[in-house]
Structure 1
Amino acid sequence: MFLKRIQVQHEKVPSKNKYPFTIPSIKNLDQLEIKNNITFFVGENGTGKSTLLEAIADKCGFNMAGGGRNNYYEVDAAESALGDYIRLSWMPKVTNGFFLRAESFYHFATHIDQVDANYAYGGRSLHKQSHGESFLSLFLNRFKGKAIYLLDEPEAALSPQRQLSFLKILHDLAASGDSQFIIATHSPILLGYPDATIYSFDDGSIQEIDYEMTDHYQITSYFLQHREKMLKDLFNE
């Protein structure tokens, strides 16, 4: 594990009334300890998990539209509003890694075509694979040891079966002891990774939470066990 701590430098913040400090979880954050080489960020949309992940990627020097330190291309609005106000503590610091933004992966795939680097992603253009296949090609071929990987909703392109395949890739890389992952996700399948640290961004602060206590687990579990009742209640029937 490389990244140990994230600190917000509140003394540098010009105004707490401007984004991203209008997000309660970010406004109330002083520091966050990273205790595991597999860490998940969970919470409702807009609670700040992607904002913090983007800021970490910014401080790592990764392309804010997605990629590593050596992927040079631009996408509108691909920037971090928080990056200037956090400090990362490393032991030791690594420069290798990757930032995955599911929403801008198309632009990353185009960049790979333009620089003729498909040999590093299984030898096929990422655009000539299905969305899910291209994500798995990235995970299988680009992710190596001694690196930090920051993934924003990697489940976006993955079927449940391929989410399980991703968990196997995650396990194999983590078992080597020299890969670290921080993942923002809504997937109860990914969150089920054994012994991972889960931080919830709900309720205005960032708190460690057990898997079974996440809304993702509880809502999905209840739906699967009581589907008809839940849908009747939802539709007011």
Structure 2
Amino acid sequence: MTFFVGENGSGKSTLLEAIAQGAGFNPEGGNRNHNFSTANTESSLHQYIRLSWLPKVTNGFFLRAESFFNFSSYIDTIAEEDRSSNVYEAYGGKSLHHQSHGESFLSLFTHRFQGRKRALYLLDEPEAALSPARQLALLRILWDHEHSGRSQFIIATHSPILLGYPHATIFNFDQAPLAPIRYEDTDHFIVTKEFLTHRERILEELFKENKD
């Protein structure tokens, strides 16, 4: 279980996208069997990295929160073109567009992610649609997968809840070169703890008028 953390623009999503492309996954989301493109926005980083597996894994999934709507539309197109298929079975039995944003994410994690085969799962800000309670539900899903011994997860996130996953490796993108960081040393943990502990003081300081 590996997490990427850092400020916006630090390169977390760019590297995750490059890993996805190196693994053969669709750069806008999905796996090797999903072929759709709505915008040519991918970086060229994947051309300069080399992935190594032992054994090599070809199963898995790449979740991009920002393009999940497009992925959901793509699945609807497949279902419309082949009405005899059970394409929705892997997504909770119905169109992802017919579920709330959070429900569709959790349906994907629950039904599409299966631990029967070795798989690589790449998640870019999976907390984007999840309430705190459902982030906890995702932690349980991750736990079950990890203990199956057949799944590897690399997750780019801003969520202090997800980052609290026990014994995970966290790489800090706010320093060069990249290096592991303790959960308690991440800005996500420090800022969240400080806000929850001293909310009134922080808000007073944040909203005070500039008298200079």
Normalised to the residue count of structure 2, the TM-score between the two structures is 0.92
Contact 1:65 1:78 in 2 (8 A): no
Task: Tell me the alpha carbon deviations over residues 215-237 of structure 1, each in whole angstroms, 9 at most, x when there is no partner.
Answer: 00000000000001111111235
User: 2:106 pairs with 125, 136, 155, which one?
Assistant: 136
The residue aligned with 1:169 is 141
* Structure 2 stretches lacking a partner, 5+ long: 80-86
C-alpha separation between the residues in 2 aligned to 1:123 and 1:197? 34
* Structure 1 stretches lacking a partner, 5+ long: 1-37
Q: Is 1:61 the counterpart of 2:24 in the alignment?
A: yes
The residue aligned with 1:154 is 126
User: 1:76 pairs with 39, 42, 61, which one?
Assistant: 39
Contact 1:64 1:78 in 2 (8 A): no
**Bigger strand share:** 1
Task: Tell me the alpha carbon deviations over residues 133-188 of structure 1, each in whole angstroms, 9 at most, x when there is no partner.
Answer: 00000001110121000000000000000000000001011110000000000000
C-alpha separation between the residues in 2 aligned to 1:50 and 1:70? 22
1:221 partner SS: helix
Q: Is 1:99 the counterpart of 2:49 in the alignment?
A: no
- Alignment map for 1:83-122 (pairs within 5 Å): 83-116=46-79, 117-122=87-92
User: 2:7 pairs with 41, 44, 69, which one?
Assistant: 44
How far does residue 40 in structure 1 lie from its aligned partner after superposition?
A: 0.1
C-alpha separation between the residues in 2 aligned to 1:184 and 1:119? 27
Instruction: Supply the AA of the counterpart residue of 1:138.
Output: L
C-alpha separation between the residues in 1 aligned to 2:180 and 2:36? 36
The residue aligned with 2:188 is 216
Instruction: Supply the AA of the counterpart residue of 2:169.
Output: T
C-alpha separation between the residues in 1 aligned to 2:194 and 2:18? 34
Normalised to the residue count of structure 1, the TM-score between the two structures is 0.83
User: 1:124 pairs with 87, 94, 97, which one?
Assistant: 94
C-alpha separation between the residues in 1 aligned to 2:129 and 2:103? 8
Instruction: Supply the AA of the counterpart residue of 1:101.
Output: R
C-alpha separation between the residues in 1 aligned to 2:126 and 2:90? 19
Contact 1:64 1:80 in 2 (8 A): no
Q: Is 1:232 the counterpart of 2:204 in the alignment?
A: yes
C-alpha separation between the residues in 2 aligned to 1:43 and 1:62? 24
Tell me the matched-pair count. Answer: 200
The residue aligned with 1:4 is none
The residue aligned with 1:26 is none
- Alignment map for 1:194-209 (pairs within 5 Å): 194-209=166-181
Identity %: 65
C-alpha separation between the residues in 2 aligned to 1:194 and 1:102? 24
C-alpha separation between the residues in 2 aligned to 1:157 and 1:175? 25
Q: Please provide the CA RMSD for this pair.
A: 0.9
